[in-house]
Amino acid sequence: MEGLKVSDANLVVYIHPSKAGKVSQSILRELSTLLFKYNEIFDGVVLAYDVTIQNKNAKVLPGIYPCFGVKLKAKMLLFSPKPDMLLEGKVVKLGKESLHVIVLGFSSASIAEEDIREEFRYRIKHGEEVFASTSHKRHVIKVGSMIQFLVKSFDEEILHISGSLIPVNTGSTKWLHKNMEEGSMVDRLETRKKKRKDDRSEMHEHSTELLDDVGFSLKNEGRPKKSKRQRHAEQS
Amino acid sequence: MGVELATDRPGFYEMVDVDVSDSELVYHVRDALKSVSQGDSDHYNQLIAVMHYTGRLAPDEVAMLVTSLKALSGSISYIDIIHHESLLSSIFGMSMWNYGPDVMDALVELIISLAASNGKFVDSCLDMLVRNFTPPKSYLDLLGHPRGLARKHEVLDRVHSALSHIADLVPLAPMRLTPIILQRMPHMFDKETLIVIYVESMLRLESSALGEFVGSTMLMALVDRLIDLDVEISWDDIVLEDSGKGIFDMELEDVDDIIGYAEKDGFEHPRGTLGRQSLGTNAVADKLDSLMVLACEHLKSCADGERLTKVFETLLQSFWVTILNAYKSKFSQFVMFYACSLDPEHCGERFAVFLADIFVCRTHPALTRMSAVAYLASYLSRGKFLPPSLIASTLKRLVDWCLEYCQVQNGEEKTLYPETHRVFYSGCQAIMYVLCFRMRSMMDSHRLKSQLLHMPLEPIFRHQLDPLKVCLPSIVEEFLRQAKAAHLFTVSETFLFNNLLESDLSKAFGGMERLDMFFPFDPCLLKKCDRFIRPSFVYWSMVKTTYDEGEDCSSEEDINEYFDGNGKSYMDGGITRSLDEHDLDLDEFECQLNKMSITPRNSLKNGLINKLENYMRMPARIRPSTSPESL
């Protein structure tokens, strides 16, 4: 999935003298106020951070409350979707006129009817509302499916994405991964499918992990992204 | 036919024909919306007019409204925040209370879709739903009637489910919801029904799935509101006149003052609310009363749902921030009392430990510490549900702290400076107050009695700092009396207080805030919430003191086996405790006669002692000095 990036940041956190006994706790607290908000300086929504204190010495700010500034180096995991990026999310509401998706568990996205390509038609199958593809029988989007969509715009305040299912490489991720390469042999497809499923599930764990564990270490982050890039390279 | 309708009949009123399909209506609405930016607002204005249907609607008007709303739900992506501002403000201005269920459903559907479609609408949608927590002003009186109640359930059920749906679709919505709710909270001078119905919704949110995100803020806002109302009730309204009777108004026993309460369980009831006082603040007291009832009911449902421990933590935080330092909060603290009574094991203990921690911690300001120990003393005395072991262990903590304090002081001072040692004096007073209530029950238990006798009370009370002189005379008197009867210890001086409630010294240590006379859990005077508190509350009349005759103390048979630490028998030790052997007053004489019992059988009770008892009561009702500022 695009839109996630890791940035290195040099930060200074100013701590009130009353917290001098529990510095790391107050640093984490201070940084946690950044979470799930769009930050202009970082150009993204802060999802997680990994902090190392650079120096045990801190400069004291003169003033009524002599707060002291602790210098930190942090790795920030940022979410910054830009137009024309491809994102994945889970469908939570499906209606004739629109599709509602949740990305990474916190960002809401909506796709309007006119942004869903003609291929998809709204149907009611087995009592369930779905968007079914007219050209590929198995390609179905319903509540609970993971879909890949294109970003049209991103509202930074409420973290709402406006999306589109016009491009051909958008739709249900299950179907897309299965049918990535046309005309390949069945075994290769199946092993690929398995690998992608593993990667995807890893990424899902990865995303949920992000939301739970704040002081999370970013060792695993690089791998899934690379493989996706590889996949795109292969595609084109 | 459908297509023809769409083009031939531009007006909305004609669209009521059933033959028009939903999708055609949707296209029509979309056209109307699109044409606004092109300058053609006719259909658009007609649409707005539909939104403004008011009063009793005819069935076809209802149908029109429902279909228009549904059509709008289908055209969400065509709604532009700037071009369609008037339509949006009409929609957001609609009050669900004015309509029937069909319209409500359609409206709610529209609101949810709007919120999910575009981030810009989220705040307005949430705001609209929060505004629907309360009915329009004209509707308030109808709430008492069954039809009004039915409508209330219809509206609130939908509002809350809408909020929950929006939270599902827009995960960050609860974050935006909190400030909106706080902003729209009715002012404390608004009508009582308005405040109550709003707070009901707040508490409903707290119990819902959204409670995880907004719950703690809701509770804290409620406690803030309770305090706001509390401080509006002035002391003058609470105290009855008749100062000649003496400041120790007994809580209950003034028969002539009871306002029509039947006796239950042999206990007389406290006076009603401020019914006899000025009516101005009565409204405030009623509001406070209603909110307290809501809070207590909510806590009960939390306890039933096994969520109380978590909720209690929030409540405790709120108590610390808001109530503890509020100048003499009158009744709001009973919310804590009730919460503790629901779960004595965890919450009850937690509260006591919390208060004791504040008292012993030196980094808190003195006033906070004094206030905390006043709360603690009153709580330990009044909580019927508190296990005696907790009371004993907390007392021990206080005693140990006071002893340590004494030992740190050097003995050079000749004059007393109550203000300097005010924290210490408040601690001593707390110990005495708790023992006035609990001494007898502690002495009756073998294990607790030994704990109590081992507590180093004498070194504290006989110390240079002389807490017996400084603390509130009425408490000291009662304490000494009971201590003597229990042979805890005696002092050589007889303190003649002459029914003094306060002395100069006690005023000095109490300071401007008069924390020497602060007993926060004195009987709650609010009528409605009293029923929550009463079953767990210890009234002074219920307390058996150590000088009460009649009851055989259970440890009578143990008396022979009991030896104090020095190997002497208890009774010997008891008598040698009194400093002055010549000081044999009636009590001690009786005691020596009845060596086998701890409590002296006082056969002269009906005479002199009885009269004295009438004066030397516990300072259960507080009357503050008329002008604390004059200190």
In terms of residues, how long is chain A? 236
Of B77, B119, B168, the CB nearest to A158: B119
C-beta separation of A111 from A101 below 8 A: yes
Of B74, B75, B171, the CB nearest to A106: B171
Report the 10 Å Cβ neighbour count for B579: 13
Of A95, A98, A106, the CB nearest to B172: A106
A93-107, A132-146, B270-284, B517-531: range with lowest mean pLDDT: B270-284
Percent of chain B having pLDDT more than 90? 43
Taking alpha carbons only, the member of B539, B477, B545, B463 closest to residue B506 is: B477
Min Cα distance B13 → chain A (Å) is 25
Sign of CA dihedral A81, A85, A87, A92: positive
Which of residues A148, A176, A204 is at a domain's end?
Answer: A176
pLDDT at B543: 87
Contacts of B118 in chain A (CB under 8 A): 110, 155, 160, 162
pLDDT at B3: 45
The better pLDDT of the pair B278, A73 is held by: A73
The structure tokens listed for B160 are: 């809350």
Q: Are residues A119 and A68 in the same domain?
A: no
Strands A44-53 and A59-60: unpaired
pLDDT digit string (tens) for B185-241? Answer: 999 899 999 999 999 999 999 999 999 999 999 999 999 999 999 988 876 666 543
Q: Do A92 and B170 touch (CB under 8 A)?
A: no
Question: CA B225 → CA B21, B195, B284, B287, distances in Å?
Answer: 51, 10, 11, 10
Sign of CA dihedral B332, B334, B339, B340: positive
B-facing residues of A in 121-150 (CB < 8 A) are none
Contacts of B77 in chain A (CB under 8 A): 97-98, 112-114
Min Cα distance A110 → chain B (Å) is 6
Number of domains into which chain A is organized: 2
Report the 10 Å Cβ neighbour count for A75: 17
CA distance A81 to A3: 5
Residues 6+ apart with CB under 8 A from B410: none
C-beta separation of A211 from A106 below 8 A: yes
Q: Are residues A69 and A18 in the same domain?
A: yes
CA distance A111 to A120: 13
Report the 10 Å Cβ neighbour count for B82: 8
pLDDT at B598: 38
The structure tokens listed for B294 are: 């809501």
Residue B297 has pLDDT above 70, yes or no: yes
Q: Which residue of A has its CA nearest to B72?
A: A97
C-beta separation of B503 from B474 below 8 A: no
Report the 10 Å Cβ neighbour count for B17: 10
pLDDT digit string (tens) for A155-165? Answer: 888 889 999 99
C-beta separation of B380 from B434 below 8 A: yes
Dihedral class, residue B117 (left if φ above 0, else alpha if ψ from -120 to 50, else beta): alpha
Min Cα distance B71 → chain A (Å) is 11
Contacts of A160 in chain B (CB under 8 A): 118-119, 122, 170
Rg over CA atoms, chain A: 22
Residue A171 has pLDDT above 60, yes or no: yes
Residues 6+ apart with CB under 8 A from B610: none
**In this structure, what is the dihedral angle of CA atoms B407, B413, B418, B421, given to the nearest 10 degrees?**
-30
Q: Which residue of A has its CA nearest to B77?
A: A112
The better pLDDT of the pair B244, B534 is held by: B534
State phi, psi for B562 to the nearest 5 degrees.
-85, 130
Residue B504 has pLDDT above 50, yes or no: yes
CA distance B125 to A225: 37
Percent of chain A having pLDDT more than 90? 36
The better pLDDT of the pair B457, B417 is held by: B457
Q: DSSP characters for B61-125?
A: HHHHHHHHHHHHHHTGGG--TTTTHHHHHHHHT--GGGS-HHHHHHHHHHHHHHHHH-HHHHHHH
C-beta separation of B99 from B107 below 8 A: yes
Please give the sequence-ordered ranges of beta strands (E in DSSP) within B179-234, or none if there are none.
none
CA distance B623 to B631: 16
CA distance B401 to B369: 13
A95 touches chain B (CB under 8 A): yes
Strands A86-94 and A146-155: antiparallel
Q: DSSP characters for A29-63?
A: HHHHTTTTSEETTTTEEEEEEEEEE--S--EEPPS
Burial of B488 (C-beta count, 10 Å sphere; 0-12/13-18/19+): buried
Q: Are residues A74 and A120 in the same domain?
A: no
CA distance A24 to A129: 50
Q: Do A113 and B77 touch (CB under 8 A)?
A: yes
Q: Do B172 and A108 touch (CB under 8 A)?
A: yes
The better pLDDT of the pair A224, B348 is held by: B348
C-beta separation of B291 from B229 below 8 A: yes
DSSP bridge partners of A8? A75
Q: Are residues A67 and A24 in the same domain?
A: yes
Residue B631 has pLDDT above 60, yes or no: no
Q: Which residue of B has its CA nearest to A108?
A: B170
Arithmetic mean of pLDDT, B316-331: 90
Can you say how many angstroms the Cα of residue A56 is from the centroid of all Cα atoms in its chain? 34
CA distance B257 to A88: 73
Q: Do B117 and A157 touch (CB under 8 A)?
A: no
First to last CA, chain A: 17
Min Cα distance B72 → chain A (Å) is 11
Q: Do B169 and A112 touch (CB under 8 A)?
A: no
C-beta separation of B473 from B501 below 8 A: yes
Burial of A155 (C-beta count, 10 Å sphere; 0-12/13-18/19+): middle
B81 touches chain A (CB under 8 A): no
Q: What is the CATH number of the domain that holds A62?
A: 3.30.1490.120
Question: CA B329 → CA B208, B234, B278, B314, B336, distances in Å?
Answer: 30, 10, 20, 19, 12
The structure tokens listed for B196 are: 């109550």
**In this structure, what is the dihedral angle of CA atoms B215, B216, B220, B225, given to the nearest 10 degrees?**
0
CA distance A36 to A46: 6
Buried b vs exposed e over B489-502: b needs ≥16 C-beta within 10 Å?
A: bbbeeeeeeeeebb
Q: Are residues A71 and A95 in the same domain?
A: no
Domain annotation covers residue A103: yes
Q: What is the ipTM of this complex?
A: 0.72
Domain annotation covers residue A13: yes
Mean of the per-residue pLDDT values for chain B? Answer: 78
| Number of helical (H) and strand (E) elements in chain A, helices listed first | 4, 14
Range of the domain at A144: 86-176
Residue B530 has pLDDT above 80, yes or no: yes
CA distance B271 to B258: 5
Question: CA B467 → CA A185, B75, B462, distances in Å?
Answer: 94, 78, 8
The structure tokens listed for B131 are: 């505004």
pLDDT at B437: 93
pLDDT at B490: 66
Q: Are residues A74 and A123 in the same domain?
A: no
Contacts of B170 in chain A (CB under 8 A): 108, 158, 160
pLDDT at B465: 85
C-beta separation of B44 from B32 below 8 A: yes
Contacts of A211 in chain B (CB under 8 A): none
Arithmetic mean of pLDDT, A72-98: 92
Q: Which amino acid is at B290?
A: S
Strands A160-165 and A146-155: antiparallel
Percent of chain B having pLDDT more than 70? 74
Report the 10 Å Cβ neighbour count for B615: 13
CA distance B315 to B302: 12
The better pLDDT of the pair B577, B25 is held by: B25
Residue A53 has pLDDT above 90, yes or no: no
Residue A193 has pLDDT above 80, yes or no: no
**In this structure, what is the dihedral angle of CA atoms B511, B516, B521, B523, given to the nearest 10 degrees?**
-110
- The domain ranges of chain B are 22-152
pLDDT at B28: 87
C-beta separation of B90 from B140 below 8 A: no
Q: Do B122 and A98 touch (CB under 8 A)?
A: no
Residues 6+ apart with CB under 8 A from B141: none
Report the 10 Å Cβ neighbour count for A105: 13
Q: Do A93 and B169 touch (CB under 8 A)?
A: yes
Q: Do A160 and B73 touch (CB under 8 A)?
A: no
Q: What is the CATH number of the domain that holds A134?
A: 2.40.50.140
Q: Do A100 and B171 touch (CB under 8 A)?
A: no
CA distance B48 to B87: 6
State phi, psi for A150 to the nearest 5 degrees.
-95, 140
Question: CA B396 → CA B125, B351, B379, B452, distances in Å?
Answer: 56, 16, 16, 8
Min Cα distance B121 → chain A (Å) is 10
Residue B1 has pLDDT above 80, yes or no: no
pLDDT-derived band at B39 (thresholds 50, 70, 90) equals confident
B78-92, B268-282, B298-312: which is most confident: B298-312
Q: Which residue of B has its CA nearest to A18?
A: B363
pLDDT at B628: 41
In terms of residues, how long is chain B? 631
